[in-house]
Amino acid sequence: ATAIQRADYSAPAWWVDSVDLCFDLDPIKTRVLNKMKLRRNTDLPVQALRLDGEELNLARVLVNGQGSTFKMDGNQLVLSNLPDECELEIFTTTCPSKNTKLMGLYVSNDSFFTQCEAEGFRRITYFLDRPDVMAMYSVTLRADKAKYPVLLSNGNLVDSGDLEGGRHFAKWVDPHKKPCYLFALVAGQLVCREQRITTRAGKDHTLQIYVRSGDLDKTEHAMNSLIHSVAWDEARFGLPLDLERFMIVATSDFNMGAMENKGLNIFNTKYVLASQATATDVDFSNIESVVGHEYFHNWTGNRITCRDWFQLSLKEGLTVFRDQEFSTDLAGTASARAVKRIEDVRVLRTNQFPEDAGPMAHPVRPDSYVEISNFYTVTIYEKGAEVVRMYQTLVGRAGFEKGITLYFERHDGNAVTCDDFAQAIADANPSSVLPSLLPQFKRWYSQAGTPRVSAQGVFDAASQTYTLTFSQHCAATPGQTEKLPFVIPVVLGLLDANGNDLPLQLEGQDEIHTGSQRLVLTEASQSFCFTGVNAEPVPSILRGLSAPVVLAFDYSDAQLLHLLAHDSDPFNRWEAGQRLAVNRATAAINDSSANPAALDAAYIDAMRAVLRHPTLDAAFKELVLTLPSEVYLAEQLTVVDPQRVHTVRQAMREQLAIELKADWETTYAATQETGAYTPDAVSSGKRALCGMALTHLCLAAVAEGNDQWPAIALQRFKNASNMTDRFNALSALVGSGHALAIPALEEFHALFKNEALVLDKWFALQVTAPDVGGNTLPNVKKLMKHSDFSLRNPNRARSVISSYCQANPAGFHRLDAAGYQFWSERVLELDAINPQVAARLARALDRWSKLAEPYRTNARQAIARVAAKSGLSKDTQEVVTRALA
């Protein structure tokens, strides 16, 4: 497969001004008539029209109503000698029921859905399938009325009625021009929750959420999230809803989370359906952010879209940043805001940092790709969001809002690049530091890899100064050996002996900062000297993770304990606790003769103090008490023995369980009742801490051969009035390996056998259970034979296969390599059905070269077996080829 290069971009030779689509929907043979008004791009020399198509049956081509000659060049339909303006009609047919890739038009539960981003529209009709071709759309849908009573597409319904033979039709017109990746249609037996709203601007809108008939009672939270999203974007960025009607439709067969099609978002049911009985607090909060995310795309993505797919982070990084800000603003209290930031940083560091250090590392704006679907990554999304966050840090919140306003003034209705975005933010803030730093700042778009910032502090008692010296370094990544220094905003504070922030004054400057100060690193190495410091302070560096970097500072335990106890920045307070744990874990992991139970009294006492703290929020306590994940710990090591990492972390957890037992009991007692269920930040934090207490109490009980707490967990499981408490109790039992887990799992299945999303949890919980005597893999294989298992449903396949391969390191990385064998077989099996799902799974062994032997050799061989297979999809091929490079 050949790579597409960013440098090869050229404007399209033809523009499409309007598209009139007519569908005769049928699961076996859907007919599509595509009438386009074309206009030659006269800026370029005359070129043939080349239209993309994939798995289409071409019936007829008319130019200005006349039969026309054409030729095929691979997958492209090529028409030469067209007049500069013409109408082109193309008739094709497709078979939606055989579409297991879930790209283009497909059938799920007897309904029709589409997914076009990035290159799925070419599976519906021949088209210039690229985001810089924006057209006006009108769409007529015809289908059997009884089977498909609801017919939806983008924009406004302008006509509908009955046809002969029990069929009916609906005609939709989208008032906004759009790239074809935002096209959507839905047809089926669906019901809808509807809400009319009037926005601040005084306009009326209809919001609708369509689901299958049994699911209507689970749409209230998604609707509320949508209402909040509309209000927030108007209030924070002045961006109103630009459609009379805004629809969300849920489907249980979907490759990813959701899709922002103009006016007709299509969602994975996982990010729509929620009731207190079936969804956890985490589900509720994910729904809020995904509903927000897709809604915010209406401006950042749809009104202004990407010129080409290399610019993907233009819309994704920015929209993730916006959804993070939305959830943060909705969270309310300062503590809840900090909790949200910690959660986002955890995602960044456990997913994106490893990606940036592995074979798939790529810049936020990649230079080349084989299959664009492989580049919907945590780098494009989460690192992209951090890059946007740094603009805000550099120009301030008000300055950033001005920048967004200028961006829309300049580019609304266009397909643009990351450079256009950067320029708008800089131009709107002429007196900020950004304009002069912009060329260097843009290295964040071109250089892959996570920079490492090393800092050293020197206190000089005689001059009463404290000098911080920073140096930055970024390791080589595939295709990029040399890196130039980045622009790195470093927000910091200095704590005195009482834990208070010192006033900060840099040598030679008049300005005095109380609390935090923002420094900007631009050199490979540079120093900052703070004056008027009369005793050695403890530096709190990179507050709130002010840049997506690794900070190396040789903190003593005493300094970290001081930060954990006092830092005014809750993020760094949490971070200090993580560093204490990482130091202990890595020491024990690296010395295989050492006792894996690596926690000393100082650490345990500090955790006890946090648990007992009178004013800290439950959610924050839960985050501090959570040990760094096995994946995060592995990233801190040069050579990884996954079994040793697991053994040490597990031993540390047991130690926390046993040594803090009395405190877990107190904590449980204090948090077990949260009253009537609401998924707000405070009560969900309480439930999370309660679940954590129960987990540790069950762990301690099993270690001590005592059944009291498992019995309490079983009762809580049975009596729970919401899914969060019920699932936490079940997880506590399963995670402790207690025998009561078995009947509880059976009961859980019986209770929720008709709730697909809950069954996904049931499957995932079992395959991520601790691997006792190598039993996880046989259990995974057994679960794949369960009558509720299906490889074709992405959610279900992920809940069993991906959860095992990607969320159970100790169960997966087996000495006998059977986990890798299983992985390679499933990748190949899935690749024949759904390449996108397969290629995601293929990334489970990204970090193979860091593994200790024999894991390393065995993993490499498993990847090579996949790579050797003929007929692999481009998707999987690209992932395994890069892994072996």
Active site residues: 294
Gap between the Cα atoms of 842 and 295, Å rounded: 31
Q: Report, in this order, helix, strand and coil percent for the chain, each rounded to 5.
A: 45, 20, 35
Strands of 354-424, DSSP E: 368-369, 415-416
Q: How far is the CB of 102 from ligand B3K (least distance, A)?
A: 10
Give, in order, the Cα–Cα distances in Å from 87 to each of 38, 65, 141: 6, 8, 21
Closest C-alpha to 806, from 642, 695, 691: 642
- What are the phi and psi torsion angles at 62 (to 5°)? -120, 135
CB nearer to ligand B3K: pick between 318 and 330: 318
Cβ neighbour number for residue 724 with a 10 Å cutoff: 25
Instruction: Please give the DSSP secondary-structure letter assigned to residue 127.
Output: B
- Looking at 222-230, 308-316, 662-670, 788-796, which segment touches Zn ion (CB under 5 A)? 308-316
Binding mask 317-336 for Zn ion (x = CB under 5 A): --x-----------------
CB nearer to Zn ion: pick between 319 and 674: 319
Q: Which does 386 bind (CB under 5 to 8 A by kind): Zn ion, ligand B3K, none?
A: none
Gap between the Cα atoms of 173 and 154, Å rounded: 7
CB nearer to Zn ion: pick between 383 and 813: 383
Residues, the chain: 885
Nearest residue to ligand B3K by CB is 117
Residue identified by tokens 């690596």 is 598
Per-residue HEC secondary structure of 203-263 comes to: CEEEEEEEECHHHHHHCHHHHHHHHHHHHHHHHHHCCCCCCCEEEEEEECCCCCCEECCCC
Cβ neighbour number for residue 829 with a 10 Å cutoff: 13
Q: Which does 373 bind (CB under 5 to 8 A by kind): ligand B3K, Zn ion, none?
A: ligand B3K
CB nearer to Zn ion: pick between 322 and 661: 322
Q: How far is the CB of 389 from Zn ion (least distance, A)?
A: 16
CB nearer to Zn ion: pick between 53 and 292: 292
Q: Which does 579 bind (CB under 5 to 8 A by kind): Zn ion, ligand B3K, none?
A: none
Q: How far is the CB of 323 from ligand B3K (least distance, A)?
A: 9
Are the C-beta atoms of residues 589 and 565 closer than 8 Å to each other? Answer: no
CB nearer to Zn ion: pick between 256 and 634: 256
Q: How far is the CB of 291 from ligand B3K (least distance, A)?
A: 11
- 3-state DSSP call for residue 691? helix
Q: How far is the CB of 259 from ligand B3K (least distance, A)?
A: 5
DSSP string for residues in 474-519 = ---BTTB---PPPPEEEEEEEE-TTSPBPPB-BTT----BSS-EEE
- Looking at 314-322, 483-491, 645-653, 827-835, which segment touches Zn ion (CB under 5 A)? 314-322
Give, in order, the Cα–Cα distances in Å from 152 to each of 207, 210, 249, 465, 558: 14, 10, 10, 67, 62
Interface residues toward ligand B3K, by CB under 6 A: 117-118, 256, 258-260, 293-294, 297, 316, 373, 376
Is there a cis peptide before residue 844, judged by omega within 30 degrees of 0?
no
Q: How far is the CB of 535 from ligand B3K (least distance, A)?
A: 50
Are the C-beta atoms of residues 497 and 485 closer than 8 Å to each other? Answer: no
- Looking at 316-324, 339-347, 407-415, 698-706, which segment touches Zn ion (CB under 5 A)? 316-324
Number of residues located near Zn ion, criterion CB under 5 A: 2
Q: Which does 617 bind (CB under 5 to 8 A by kind): ligand B3K, Zn ion, none?
A: none
Q: Which does 118 bind (CB under 5 to 8 A by kind): Zn ion, ligand B3K, none?
A: ligand B3K
CB nearer to ligand B3K: pick between 249 and 732: 249
Q: How far is the CB of 554 from ligand B3K (least distance, A)?
A: 40
- Looking at 29-37, 312-320, 701-709, 748-756, which segment touches Zn ion (CB under 5 A)? 312-320
Q: How far is the CB of 831 from ligand B3K (least distance, A)?
A: 16
CB nearer to ligand B3K: pick between 253 and 501: 253
Binding site residues, Zn ion, CB under 5 A: 316, 319
